[in-house]
């Protein structure tokens, strides 16, 4: 598969989960996002550089849910039978063209409705990593990208929250409130 081919399919099977994140089956991606959505497993990745800036991506206009919205570096779903650790590394490489170590932070359940078009209803595992190299985005997934200073991001989220995906806003609130200080502490 070339880097410019689509890496998502509406027919790919997503892992359905219960309220405790236990697997209960699978369904095509399109069905999981219709109407109010069906609870399924997902992940979200936050990438910082050495200056503690956060990598944001602008979702492709081709996305059915939240097209052209700014979001965190990468978010997607594990394949049926794939470990979450393999899934996050796979998708980071597919979407942004790089690899880096990722660390699990927390997981949470959320629901976000995108008008009558559909919804996200996910049990989302949140990861972070640090990367300072070349970013080579897959243009079928990402319209634009940038690193943003944390203070600038905070100001943008207050001034124009409608430009950001709901999961980014929820996750950033949790990360900035409970994890941010520890992320930048030197490892002992």
Rg (Cα) of the chain, in Å, rounded?
16
Q: Can you tell me the distance from the alpha carbon of 26 to that of 179, in angstroms, rounded to the nearest whole number?
A: 32
* Burial label, 185 (beta-carbon count in 10 A; 0-12, 13-18, 19+): exposed
Catalytic residues: 75, 122
Q: Can you tell me the distance from the alpha carbon of 22 to that of 175, in angstroms, rounded to the nearest whole number?
A: 24
CB 72 within 8 A of CB 56: yes
Q: Compute how many other C-beta atoms are within 10 angstroms of the C-beta atom of residue 83.
A: 10
CB 57 within 8 A of CB 73: yes
């Amino acid at each position: 598969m070339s880097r410019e081919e689509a890496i998502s399919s509406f027919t790919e099977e997503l892992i359905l989960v219960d309220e405790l994140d236990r697997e209960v089956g699978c369904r095509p991606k399109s069905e999981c996002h219709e109407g109010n959505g069906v609870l399924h497993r997902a992940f979200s990745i936050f990438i910082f550089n050495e200056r503690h800036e956060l990598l944001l991506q602008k979702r492709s206009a081709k996305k059915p849910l939240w097209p052209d919205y700014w979001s965190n570096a990468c978010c997607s779903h594990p394949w049926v039978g794939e470990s979450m650790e393999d899934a996050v590394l796979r998708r980071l490489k597919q979407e942004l063209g790089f690899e880096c170590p990722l660390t699990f932070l927390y997981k949470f359940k959320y629901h976000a409705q995108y008008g009558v078009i559909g919804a996200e209803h996910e049990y989302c595992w949140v990861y972070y990593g640090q990367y300072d190299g070349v970013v080579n985005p897959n243009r079928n997934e990402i319209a634009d990208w940038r690193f943003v200073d944390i203070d600038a991001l905070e100001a943008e989220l207050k001034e124009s929250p409608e430009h950001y995906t709901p999961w980014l806003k929820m996750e950033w609130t949790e990360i900035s409130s409970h994890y941010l200080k520890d992320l930048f502490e030197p490892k002992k």
